[in-house]
Structure 1
Amino acid sequence: MYKNKRSLLTLAGAVALSSMSGTVLADYPERDIRVIVPWGAGGGTDGIVRKLTSIAEDSFDVSMYVENIEGGVSATGTGQLMNARADGYTIGALTYDSLVTVPWQAMLPSYDVDKLKLIARVTSEPDAIVVDADSDYESIHDLIEAAKENPGEIRVAIQNLGGRIHLAILQLQDLTGAEFRIVSYPGGAAPQKEAILSDEVDVALTSLGDFSNLIEDGTVRGLVEFTDVENPTYPDVPTSAEEGIDLQIGSFIVFAAPADTSEEALVALENAYKTAFDSDEFQEWVANVGVTPNWLGIDEVTPWAEETAESLFGEMDALVEAGVMSK
């Protein structure tokens, strides 16, 4: 009799705990969710994150708001994300520089990728060469030949020195023998746009997605994308593989949260962003901005990120040893 009574009490307690657990899960989120973008407003990353987040917000009864925290080739915003409370109410967007450049260059002393839990990768985006629509350069080969004939005279706008785009132009020079005048515009793609529009530079190295509005209105055009896959939005822009240039490099957007964020919150966030990613609204929108939607969920994104970073660390170390770049 005593054993049976105890068993019933134990079962009742388990049911009560199960109900409480279900309530906790159902209650997330209870307040607004902050989404850190470690780049300035107006760039490609900012636009994509804002669009996707505005749709993901529909899965919740609270708001999701984007906050731009730029600086340090994304190190400032990434550092804030790593040090945020792991309560599910602060998440952030990471890019190539957040996962590769910052740790490789030891730009953030407290950096530790284990402080983060990656939620999903949502895009992949190759770098590209963009010129003014009236430029004399009709192909990437025209540009390379001009840079050989006039070393250091052709001005190329990149973003941050030491970042991915800087690596891309250094690799292009190393592969082709061209020599450009590299001009840095920290803070994302917006300052590069201004530089092209004001004729401060001849060329910008970024992504077609970053310059999509200027491409669409005919202000600029793409010469090449550093990939082996044709961009369905801009099929007239040749790939580096088609042009015989052995260089493939680009960025991506990954959502992440502080490492100790609860599994319930992580799953809810992953589901919200996956629903937004799959929506007709996002897929139709992203098709018009020249970015490739490319989903990896919680289970796949961390191994992919680790393999990508390890491979790129090796490539950059080799360039340092060859004297092409410094660390």
Structure 2
Amino acid sequence: MTIFKTVALGIGLTLGATAAYAEYPEKDIRIIVPWGAGGGTDGIVRKLATIAEQEIGASMYVENIEGGISATGVSQLMGAEPDGYTIGVLTYDSVVTVPWQNLVPDYSLDRLNLIARVTSEPDALIVSTDSDYKTIEDVLADAKERPGKVIIGIQNIGSRLHLAALQLQEETGTEFKLIAYPGGAAAQKEAMLNGEVQIVSTSLGDFSSLLDDDKAMGVVEFTDAQNLTYTSVPTAAAKGLDLRMGSFIVVAAPAGVPEDVAQKVEGAFQTALESDEFQSWVSKIGVTPNWLGTAEVTDWTNATAEAIYRDLDKLVEDGVISK
């Protein structure tokens, strides 16, 4: 084979590969949601996918793969072909709980290409409307005046909400009395309605029924992005607090996905997120659109996980929880 023919063949192969990628997608795109159908994450991803498929030019269908606190579905995503035809989403447990507890061998976020963070569901401090607390400043002032006396109802010991309360204490120089309600938001609601607690730490969405019935009110949400549903609740950033805590949805693909394919997925989801259709829909469910693109999402995810690992390791060291 002559040098000319060899070079021509090489150019032809390169152009052929580029053309193949440029034609992506040529078939349906599978989206793995590692939680059950009908849940919050599932609903948000299905809504985004319905809009994003119009932009990307192919059908995008959700497959719910439950189990292992999201590990089962995410592990399947890690092992999928990196061709852009299987993508998936990660949540707090996928990024923090599963790897910190070493629940699954060979589970590593390095096996994924993180494409974008699309939403956040921040944790918040919520008070009973019957209490004297009307603002986060009221809560902090009372806690400083009566150290260890002001009660915050959290969920499980060692949970994200427990960590949020501990970080709030550290940042503000306060000391609260933390009472755990392992039954989750339902148990916290009952405690507030019964007058056991005046303050709880959970998401605004979890307490939407009490918020909408004017039996509770949010005094701060631990985020820097304003909630579109509960616009009267200030963000931590607006109150000068550095605390950021909550769940989130991150779109990811198997590591090794071609860069231009990942860019098409990123662009489709960004267009979907910013669309009037999605913004109008999400403004009614208490979840905040909170975009971070490919250039930023990996560093943000790693920094978030490392900070929470340190808090969890400290709780283990202090004998509060076991690993």
Q: 1:116 to 1:16 in 2, by over 3 A?
A: closer
Which among 11, 15, 19 is matched to residue 14 of structure 1? 11
SS at 2:126 equivalent = strand
Task: Give the paired residue count.
Answer: 313
Question: Is the 1:75–1:108 contact (alpha carbons within 8 Å) kept by the matching residues of 2?
Answer: yes
Residue 312 of structure 2 aligns to which amino acid in structure 1? M
Which among 304, 308, 311 is matched to residue 312 of structure 1? 308
> How far does the alpha carbon of each residue in 1:222-280 deviate from its partner, in whole angstroms, 9 at most, with x for none?
23323466656534324557778774423332111121334343222112112212322
Q: 1:62 to 1:161 in 2, by over 3 A?
A: farther
Deviates more, 1:112-121 or 1:234-243: 234-243
Matched, 1:81 2:74: no
Matched, 1:302 2:298: yes
**Corresponding position of 1:188:** none
Matches of 2:33 and 2:58, distance apart in 1 = 17
Matches of 2:268 and 2:237, distance apart in 1 = 36
**Corresponding position of 2:262:** 266
> How far does the alpha carbon of each residue in 1:186-239 deviate from its partner, in whole angstroms, 9 at most, with x for none?
xxxxx7358637969866533224555764464643233234666565343245
Residue 178 of structure 1 aligns to which amino acid in structure 2? F
Give the TM-score normalised by the residue count of structure 2. Answer: 0.75
Residue 7 of structure 1 aligns to which amino acid in structure 2? F
Matches of 1:294 and 1:242, distance apart in 2 = 16
**Corresponding position of 1:279:** 275
Matches of 2:21 and 2:209, distance apart in 1 = 44
> How far does the alpha carbon of each residue in 1:19-69 deviate from its partner, in whole angstroms, 9 at most, with x for none?
5641454152412423314466333x3333232222112124443223444
Q: 1:227 to 1:23 in 2, by over 3 A?
A: closer
**Corresponding position of 2:181:** 183
**Corresponding position of 1:41:** 38
SS at 2:75 equivalent = helix
Give the TM-score normalised by the residue count of structure 1. Answer: 0.74
Q: 1:63 to 1:308 in 2, by over 3 A?
A: same
Equivalences for 1:1-327 in 2 at 5 Å?
Answer: 7=4, 10-11=7-8, 14-15=11-12, 18-19=15-16, 21-23=18-20, 25-38=22-35, 41-43=38-40, 45-130=41-126, 135-136=130-131, 138-139=133-134, 148-149=148-149, 155-156=153-154, 158=155, 162-172=158-168, 176-185=174-183, 192=185, 196=189, 205-212=201-208, 215-216=211-212, 218=214, 220-227=216-223, 231=227, 233-239=229-235, 247-327=243-323
Deviates more, 1:46-55 or 1:245-254: 245-254
Matches of 1:138 and 1:40, distance apart in 2 = 38
Q: 1:88 to 1:245 in 2, by over 3 A?
A: closer
SS at 2:15 equivalent = helix
Residue 189 of structure 2 aligns to which amino acid in structure 1? I
